[in-house]
Amino acid sequence: MDLKDLAAKFQLEGTVIDVKALGEGFINDTYTITTGEGAPNYILQRKNKRVFSPIPAMMENIQIVTSHIKKKVIAAGGDPLREVLTVVPATDGKLYFKDEDDEYWAVCILIEDTITYDAAETPELSYAGGKGIGKFQSMVSDLDAQLTDIIPGFHNIRYRFKQWDEVLAKDPVGRKAGLAEEIGWIESRKEEMLGFWELYENGSLPTRITHNDTKINNILFDKQGNVLCVIDLDTVLNSTALNDFGDAMRYYTNTGLEDDPNLDNVSMDMAIYKAFTKGYLEETISFLTDTEIEYLAFSAKYITYEQVLRFLMDYIDGDNYYKIKSPDHNLVRTKAQYKLLQSMEAQYEEMKKAVVETLAGLK
Ligand code: GN1
Ligand code: MG
């Protein structure tokens, strides 16, 4: 189906002038819809139904979360069209359109005049990001909703180990034999990681509404450098708030790239970590429990470890999940994320201390 025809399936204002590809997410395909004067522009996405299922429930999750945040933004005198995503329904009122190939499409309003960053280059930016994620969590902290688990076991390491064992047993493309060392990285930390997840399973860590993909380019900043809005809500789920802190730290503190071929570039930047922690805790201190706070530093290791596992597992599986740009891309990602994990492990005591000190400064 032609992209302009697809756009016409949604309740858009104005006339569609152009639909162009945007960015390069690993999961969805994203386009911008440009309309004529006086109407907003839009984001059109083909949602990946291999990853998220069922898509209608995912859109429902997003709607529940964004409507809740919208009320808060309005109550605070903010701009409900800029400070939170707005889902635009299809002409039949559904939150998605299903095309003739059974692909699902969804639209939201494009928030104009924003800045995004691919890396948290300065502590100031990291601090702002921490406030952004903290504020997001704070706004949904009183939302008592059971969202549909559209991506089962997303940050659940017990579930990941189950997938891991299955993939290793199958070894579908015969890559396992050459990966004894990398597989050892995963196996040697298994108990430690399961021990953390047990705290969630036994209720020591509370269940909250969480974003689950807190990289810095999922935050829109305004031209003045203030956090405007957290985007990419596909993975909003009921889980532990620590996923969001941990994933942000995996992403923000990396001095190299997620797939850096030069491991010398990769390490954890403590100043970036501290700045994020400060921004985050300023916004969340009022509701986080002592146990959540106690495990903040650990969550950075946890999510980074999980990402090592996921990239390596996808490589062994023959690259079915993440889009790749070269045959060994997932292995390159695995090694780079492992280097980051090692750097966090080396600095772990200091990471924990930074949380305690930040807290003391806030009291
Ligand atoms: C995926 O597509 P993107 O970049 O938003 C993935 C995250 C990973 C990330 C690795 C649903 O996110 O969990 O951390 O790639 N999202 C999903 O860069 O699997
Ligand atoms: Mg995402």
3-109 topology per CATH:
Phosphorylase Kinase; domain 1 (3.30.200)
* pTM for the structure as a whole: 0.95
Which pLDDT tens digit goes with each residue over 245-301? 999 999 999 999 999 999 999 999 999 999 999 999 999 999 999 999 999 999 999
Best CA proximity match to 242, nearest among 301, 327, 311:
301
Using the mean position of ligand 1's atoms as its centre, give its distance from the Cα of residue 37 in Å. 34
Which ligand is closest to the CA of 251, given by its number?
1
Q: Of the bound ligands, which one is closest to the alpha carbon of residue 337?
A: 1
> CB count, 10 Å around CB of 141?
17
Distance CA 227, CA 114 (A): 9
**Does position 129 have pLDDT exceeding 90, yes or no?**
yes
Q: Three-state SS for 349?
A: helix
Superfamily of domain 123-362: Aminoglycoside phosphotransferase (APH), C-terminal lobe (3.90.1200.10)
CB-CB contact of 26 with 48 (8 Å): no
Which atom of ligand 1 sits closest to the CA of residue 234? 11
Q: Which ligand gives the minimal distance to the CA of 153?
A: 1
> Following CA atoms 301, 248, 340, 316 in sequence, which dihedral angle do they give, to the nearest 10 degrees?
80
pLDDT at 23: 78
Q: Which DSSP symbol is given to 170?
A: H
Q: What is the pLDDT of residue 79?
A: 96
| Residue 1: predicted pLDDT | 84
The mean of the pLDDT values for the chain is 96
At residue 209, the pLDDT reads 97
For a pLDDT cut of 70, what percent of the chain falls above it? 100
pLDDT above 90 (res 163):
yes
What token pair was written down for 68? Answer: 């809740």
Burial class for 319, CB neighbours closer than 10 Å (0-12, 13-18, 19+): middle
Confidence (pLDDT) at 85: 97
| Average pLDDT of span 203-218 | 96
Q: Which residues surround ligand 2, an ion (CB under 5 A)?
A: 213, 232
Q: Taken in order 333, 58, 138, 157, is the CA torsion positive or negative?
A: negative
Give the ligand at the shortest distance from the Cα of 306.
1
Nearest atom of ligand 1 to the alpha carbon of 232: 5
Instruction: Give, using CA atoms, the residue closest to atom 12 of ligand 1.
Output: 26
Answer for the pair 272, 250: CB distance below 8 angstroms, yes or no.
no
Dist CA 283 CA 278 (whole Å) = 9
Which two structure tokens, joined as six digits, stand for 165?
A: 């064992």
Position in ligand 1 atom list of the atom nearest CA 212: 13
Structure confidence by residue, pLDDT tens digits, 11-33: 999 999 999 999 777 788 999 99
H helix or E strand, kind and range, residue 31: strand 29-35
For 36-92, write each residue's pLDDT tens digit. Answer: 888 999 999 999 999 999 999 999 999 999 999 999 999 999 999 999 999 999 999
The yes-or-no verdict on residue 237 having pLDDT over 90 is yes
**DSSP 8-state class, residue 218:** G
Average pLDDT over residues 144-157: 95
d(CA 151, CA 298): 23
Half-sphere exposure of 251 (CA within 13 A, CB side): 21
**What are the extents of the domains in the chain?**
3-109, 123-362
Mutate to test the pocket of ligand 1, among 213, 235, 258 (most ligand atoms within 8 A of CB): 213
State how far the Cα of 167 lies from the Cα of 172, in Å rounded to an integer. Answer: 8
The three-class DSSP label of residue 304 is: helix
* 36: Cβ contacts below 8 Å, ≥ 6 apart: 14, 15, 17
27 Cα: distance to centroid of ligand 2 (angstroms):
7
Pocket of ligand 1 (CB under 6 A): 25-27, 51, 213, 232, 235, 258, 307
| Length of the chain, in residues | 363
290-324 pLDDT tens trace: 999 999 999 999 999 999 999 999 999 999 999 89
DSSP annotation of 256 reads S
Angle between helices 270-284 and 242-252 (to 10 degrees): 150
Angle (deg, nearest 10), helices 55-75 and 123-140: 100
**pLDDT value at residue 204:** 98
